[in-house]
A and B are shown apart, each in its own frame.
Chain A
Amino acid sequence: MLTVQNLTKIFNKGTINEKKALDHFSLELAPGDFVTVIGSNGAGKSSMMNAVAGVFLPDCGEILIDGQNITKWPSHKRAALISRVFQDPLSGTAASMTIEENLVMALRRGESRRLRWALNVNKRDYFRNELAKLGLGLEGRLTTKVKLLSGGQRQALTLLMATLQEPKLLLLDEHTAALDPKTAEKVLELTCKVAESSKLTTLMITHNLEQALSVGNRTIMMHEGRIVLDIRGIERNNMTIGRLLEMFEKASGVHMNNDRMMLAGTR
């Protein structure tokens, strides 16, 4: 499905701030894989996702989706294959536009937009249906401007927008991190439901180790721009948070001192 080969990206090359974000990173995803990605801050998780989404071009390496080489595609072109949910709930929706307007834009993700009336009765019915599935009462608020929604509602809407037009690959960049625990749980539950029902190939970055093991079917750990741990199946089922931390330390040769990760692990 997704094949990433030898992806390397060095930021601020040749300066004192030189930072190797990705170091010959390779990854192969099977269709329907739901992979959680963990790693300390600066491990290259977001860089990897940005590279796949086309935010920047890699220094070397290749990205393929279904055998199609998309390494040089601009991000708006990749949108036909990839959809994304960001950490910041504000960044996935247009605040000054209504819920239905946001949804109808998402409905045409990756397709050319034409000079024809965007909304109609059928689409509104469809949106009401889809919104009802979120269970947030948004189905009666189609013409509400998105800026009046809460962060959790906006993130749920963003998730719906990301999957309305089924993508080949769904990228989730700590999409529950900015929400309160209860809303985060709800959004994660929706995520699993959507990914499960459409068999979406998904990459999800998380800082919550418990979540990393309980969600999806595979977990990778990144360090200094590389994968240092890749577990699935029985190995993953038998994994505990404590052993995960241990393995991380062994694999990376670095003592785990990331407070956020430790906290997430003990929660």
Chain B
Amino acid sequence: MISRRSLLKNAIKGVAALSIPLAAIEAVNPRTLFGGKDDKAKVRWVFLVDTYKCVGCGLCVKACKNENEIPYDANVTRTWVERYVITKDGKRHADTPKGARDGFTTSKIDLGMGHFEEIKAAEIAKAFFVPKLCNQCENPPCVQVCPVGATYQTSTGIVLVDRKWCIGCGYCIMGCPYGVRFFHPVYHVAEKCNFCYHRISKGLKTACVGACPFGARQIGNIKDPNDPVTKIIMTQRVSVLKPEYGTTPQVYYLGGDEFII
């Protein structure tokens, strides 16, 4: 027969046991456990794209592929430029032939499979170019889904892929809402833009920023209030891509538009 006293005792014990978080069971040094919580990083890389300045020359894509050793003729790229042509009937026509590696040299929209659509100049309501690259999200879904810890976020906010550790499962490629990840055709591991991590950690600009003749691309440190990019993000109207996903992307766009996907 269970007594009132023992019932209460066991109930208290049970509640106490349930309230221990799972993390507490793993015996680790508290510094590593709480390491992620104090935010002492002095650098947080962000990107600013001015879609008004982009003319769709694709020199950024060319430079990126050369700099980051992405096979030039393979149809994969870390950064690309999209063309949006909005016609007066409210329709969106978008393409990015070869990721705009060779720029946009014809007014025909590439529909894929060798089909093209000609749009008359008189029908165009607005048309513009949108450079895309990894958003280095504050909450990167690609990192969460990695089963082996091969992709991770550094203290400066850059998401990197460990080529030795990646097993090539492709979860991260499926998980990225922006479609910036792909398989590297040579190494057969997940590949992505990392804001030219090797360049920015040496104080250089990324290859795409350096190659852009029009100043459409800029990289900056949002933790530095005197950084020109920080000033623009803080004082002007900027937008990010797909904010509804809750990923907190860190590539900001001047001249965003509801038609951009």
Pairing of A with B: no
Partner-B contacts on A (CB < 8 A): none
Partner-A contacts on B (CB < 8 A): none
